[in-house]
Structure 1
Amino acid sequence: MQAVFSSVFYFASVALYQGLLMVGYATVYTMFPVFSLVLDQDVQPKIALTYPELYKELAKGRSLSFKTFFMWVLISIYQGGIIMYGALLLFEDEFIHIVSISFTSLILTELLMVALTIRTWHWLMIAAEMLSLSIYVASLFALNEFFDTQFIRTPAFLWKVTVITLVSCLPLYILKYLHRKVAPSIYSKLT
């Protein structure tokens, strides 16, 4: 997102997000849902014990390959570009609105992508998502130097953030859903 932002403004070395927002993104805004992913299960323990051949796929090392890594990079570039260009197209007159729209869309995109990744929900996952979202919403009003509290209360802010978040997540989810239907994984055939 920083690269897109800098290129639009003739490669000026202006930081899009200040240090506190970056620390918040890496910690309290997105940490809990990502860590809660360890509770996700592809199959029930009983099925995993009944069909030990499911581990063959993991042993081949296909889960974490260069292809997977480059897919993650492409997804990140797509989402970052959509969020940044969307915020730039929809911002009003002030720079603080770009920060408000793009950072909120970034947080919601991360939380939504984690939620769409989960196969088996656990109550701690729901708690982690709600905790992160609550902390972020509270900080929107507490961090007046980063966010325009008048603007974030308007319907314009809500629809802009919603549109950007949906455009950054929905096509990826549709592609993932179609891939699961066309080429289901071995373990999904057992559940």
Structure 2
Amino acid sequence: MPLMMSEEAFENDESDYQTLPRARVNQKQRGLGWFILGGWKIVCCSCCEWLAHICRRKKELKARTVWLGCPEKCEEKYPRNAIKNQKYNVFTFVPGVLYQQFKFFLNLYFLVVACSQFVPALKIGYLYTYWGPLSFVLAVTMVREAVDEVRRYRRDKEMNSMLYGKLTVRGKVQVKSSDIQVGDLIIVEKNQRIPADMIFLRTSEKSGSCFIRTDQLDGETDWKLKVAVACTQRLPALGDLFSISAYVYAQKPQLDIHSFDGNFTREDCEPAIHESLSIENTLWASTVVASGTVIGVVIYTGKETRSVLNTSHAKNKVKTPHPHLCFICMTSPC
């Protein structure tokens, strides 16, 4: 009996070996069919996502030590303080607009239908009934996007060209907003917009504080009280900011506009002076000075400012062409 069981076992094993190659062939066929019927899309999308992730990989944001009035002492290279809201350039305008239109399935569907009319076996009706409405919608979209791009360019140019007072060892000089660097000492007058994220050092107000309007930052129209660093506010003259050895330690750029952690240190005296910094000592970019004149040291510029980090770029407005093409499916040869 044990012998018979073992023979059956061997017989079963032999049949398994005979069917195994066929199973492998079927598995390969299924794999090839899966790839042809749609698997290639998954593979391509995965590769594109990986490449896009590599290309979009952002520089790691870090905390920083900023010396007052000494941009050259910065340990790293920080972004330019330039505002750029344009979505395209001369080379990417047409491809970019077309991509924004046809990345949606419905728009892409009507494009494929229109292209199919060049095939005689699939042709239904006249070409202009397909390409006329589609071309019209694309032309209107491109004109609208071009006008919006020009407006954005002009606004950015105006903001980047605004002049501010910058304190140097030789006195006050005028500097464009786009040329402001981390570590610069910037003077902002009343009703003037703050060009970059700064630590509030001095004010013309005797109270050592000022009010700012934050409507462009958080959408609120109220005023917020800001307090200057006590050590620098007590200095007898404005030029004394260059006679001391002091720096600000600032946390890495954050999204939260309602909090800040940092320290102010003056090390040229005994003992060294240390002051904790909070949100009350900050002057965020895009806010407006509502009282007095303020002087601050720049700690974040450009795309690292709170206002830019919290900006969600508007998506392209898509005008779907299908209302103009809905008659395509009903068109029949005459």
Structure 2 length-normalised TM:
0.20
Structure with higher RCO (Cα < 8 A, 6+ apart): 1
Greater fraction strand: 2
Larger Rg: 2
Structure 1 length-normalised TM:
0.30
Greater fraction helix: 1
